Chain A
Amino acid sequence: MICYFLALVLFVMGLYCLVAKKNIIKKIIGVTITEYSINLFLILIGYRRGGIAPITLRGMDPGEVAAKGVDPLPQALVLTSIVIGLGVLALMVAMCLRLYEKYKTFDMSEINRLRG
C-alpha cells in the first residue's frame, strides 16, 4: 500500500513542478516526473511478492507459472509508454531550443506574446 502512496507522491511532485516553476526546462522535468510516476504505478499493479518471471521454461508446470508468476501485461504497457514518453520529451526539448533561439530566455513569464 505504501508503494502506491509513494507513486502518488511522485505524481503530485511532478504536478507541483509543472505548475509552480517558471523555467521551461523545469516544466519539462515536471512532465517527465508525472509520466514516470504513472509508469511506476503500472509496474506496481503487476507486482507480486515472491513472484517468478512469467516464462514457462522446459520442464516447468504451466499451472505453477500461472499461480506464482507476475503479471506480464503491465510491463509491456510500460515499455510502450516509455517509448511514447521519449517521443514527447524529444519534441519538448526541441521546442524549448527553438524558443530559446527566438526569445533568448527560458523564463515562461517572459514568453507571453499570446493573450486575450
Chain B
Amino acid sequence: MQGFYPLFTAIPLGMAFINLLMAKISKKVADYIAFIATGVLAVMAVRMLFEPVFVYKVGGWPPPWGILLVSDGLSSLLLVVINVIGFLAIIFSTKYMTTYTAKPKYYTLFLLMIAGMNGVVITGDMFNMYVFLEIASIASYALVGFGCEKEELEASFKYLILGGVASTAILFGIAFLYSMTGTLNMPDLAQQIEILGMNKALGFVIALFIMGFGLKASSVPFHAWLPDAHPSAPAPISAMLSGVLIKALGVYSIARIMFHIFGPEPMISSILMFLGALSMVVGVFMAVGQSDVKRMLAYHSISQMGYVTIGLGLGLNPNVDPAVAALGLFGGLYHLVNHASFKSLLFLCSGSFEYRTNTRNKYEMGGLIRRMPITSTTCSIASLSISGVPPFNGFWSKLIIIIAFLKAGYPLYGAIAVLVAFMTLISFVRLQKDVIFGTLPEKFREVKEAPLLMTLPLIILAVLCLALGVAYPFVDQAMLQAAKDTLLDKMAYMSLLTGG
C-alpha cells in the first residue's frame, strides 16, 4: 500500500483529463469514469486507516531536498472524510446534474478538486501544499459559478477575489519562512524553528497564515464569501464545499502548521479560541431569519466550524493540563468528522427537495414528509445530529468540547458553546416545522420521491450519522485517537525527516 500513496492525487488528476478526452467520443462514459475513480479512492482511503505511519519520498530524493508525502493519523482521517463524501456526492450527481448542461466538464472540475484536497492532506512540503491548495481552490471557484446565472457568477467572483487574497497571504508567509530557515520541508522547518525560537518575524508569519487559511476555513472576520458561495453551487458541490473543502484546506492546514511547525504557543491558542467562539456566535445569529434553506445551512457551517477551531485552540494551549487540552483537541477532531457527515447530508437533502419542488425557500415548502418520506426522514436525522440531540453524533462531540472547556477553566467559552448549541436546536426545529411537517401546499400534491441514485447516498450518510454516535468506541480507537496523538506529538513529526 505504501508504494501506491501518490495515487491519491494521481488517480483523480489523470481521470479528470481522460474524462474530458473520452467525452469527445461518448458523453455517457463520464458518469462511469467519475464513479469508478472516486470509488477506488474511497476504498483506498478506508484501507489507509490500518497502515502504520510512513513517509514516501517522491522521486527517491532524501528528505531535506526532495518532496515528502507523509501518512499519519491526521492525514488518514482527512483522506477518509474527503474520499468517502466525494464518492457519495458523485453518486448523487449522476441524477441531479442532469438539470445542468456540460456534465463531463463538471466531473472534470470535481475530480480536480478531489486531487487538490488529497494533495494538501498528504504532502509534507510547504510549497507543494500551496500548489495543491490552488488546484482545489481554482476548481471550486469554477464549480461555484457552474450554473452561470446572475447570482452564481456574482458569488463565484466574490469567492475568487477573496480566495486570491488568501492565496497571496499564504504564499507571502511561505516566502517569509523560507527566507528565515532556508527550507520548505515541513519536518525540517519544525526543527529549524525549534532552534530559532519565537521572534517577531515568526509572529508575522503566523498572522499571515491565520488570515490566509482562516479565509479558506471561513472563520468569522473572513467569512464574507461563504454564505454566497455555498448556496450558489449545485447541491453536491455545496455538500463538498461545506462538508470537506473548508476542512481540508482551512482547518487541516491550520492544525498541521500550528501544531507541527510552530508548536503549542499561548498566543496562537488564544487567537484560535477567540476566532472559534466568534464564528460560533456570529454564524448562528446570522442563520436566524434566512428564508433560503441552503443559505441558512451555509451560516450554520460557519458556526459549526467554530466548534472545531475552538477545540483545536484548546489543544494548542500549553498552560492547561495536557489531558484536558487533549480532550479539547479530540472533541474538535470528532466534531470535524461529524460535521462532514451531517452537513453534507443536509445539503444533499436540500438538493433533493429542490430537484422535485424547484424551490429553496422554506416558507414555500411544507408537509413534504407525506410525499418524499426518505428524503424527509434523512433530513430529520441530520437536523437532530447538528442540533446535538442524543444519541446522534453531534451530541457527543459538542458534549466533549463543553466538558473540556469547563475543566480547563474557561467557563465563558463553555457557556458560549452551550448557548450556540441551543440556538442551533431552535433553528433546526423551525426548519423541520417549515419544510418537513406542517401543511402540504396545493402545488406539491403530486411531488414524487427523488430517484434511487439520489436517495441512496442520503441513506448511507444518515446511517453514518447514527453510527458515528452509537458506535463511538470503534471510531474512537480506529480514527480519532490516532489523529489526536499525531497532532500532539511534535517530536515524532520532526523525526520523520531522518526515519521512514
Contact = CB atoms under 8 A, between A and B. Distances in A.
A114 B184 CA distance: 40
B154 A84 contact: no
Contacts of A84: 131, 134, 167
B160 A98 contact: no
Interface in A85-116: 87-88, 91-92, 95-96, 98-99, 102-103, 111-114, 116
B292 to A, nearest CB: 9
B131 A99 contact: no
B159 to A, nearest CB: 10
B138 interface: yes
B153 A98 contact: yes
A102 B150 contact: yes
B178 A74 contact: yes
Given A31-B161, A77-B127, A92-B160, A38 B154 contact: no
B359 to A, nearest CB: 17
Contact of A18 (B161, B175, B295): B161
Contact of B175 (A24, A38, A87, A111): A38
Nearest to B183: A73
B413 interface: no
Interface size class of A (residues with CB under 8 A): 20 to 34
Interface in A69-86: 73-74, 77, 80-81, 84
B127 A38 contact: no
A112 B158 CA distance: 11
Nearest to B292: A116
Contact of A27 (B134, B161, B171, B295): B161
A35 B290 contact: no
B157 A96 contact: yes
> SS class of chain A's interface: helix, strand, loop or mixed?
helix
A45 interface: yes
Contacts of A11: 172
B67 to A, nearest CB: 12
Contacts of A18: 161, 165
A34 B168 contact: yes
A88 B138 contact: yes
A81 B178 CA distance: 15
A98 B146 CA distance: 11
B156 A95 contact: yes
Contacts of B179: 45
B254 to A, nearest CB: 20
Contacts of B154: 99, 111-114
B160 A102 contact: no
B485 interface: no
B164 interface: yes
Given A31-B161, A91-B141, A42 B175 contact: yes
Give the 3 A-B CB pairs with smallest separation, nearest first: A45-B179, A31-B164, A114-B228
10 contacts: A42-B178, A73-B184, A77-B127, A88-B134, A98-B153, A99-B157, A102-B150, A102-B153, A111-B154, A113-B154
Interface of A: 11, 15, 18, 24, 27, 31, 34-35, 38, 41-42, 45, 73-74, 77, 80-81, 84, 87-88, 91-92, 95-96, 98-99, 102-103, 111-114, 116
Given A81-B171, A84-B134, A92-B157, 6 more contacts: A18-B165, A31-B165, A88-B164, A91-B138, A95-B141, A114-B228
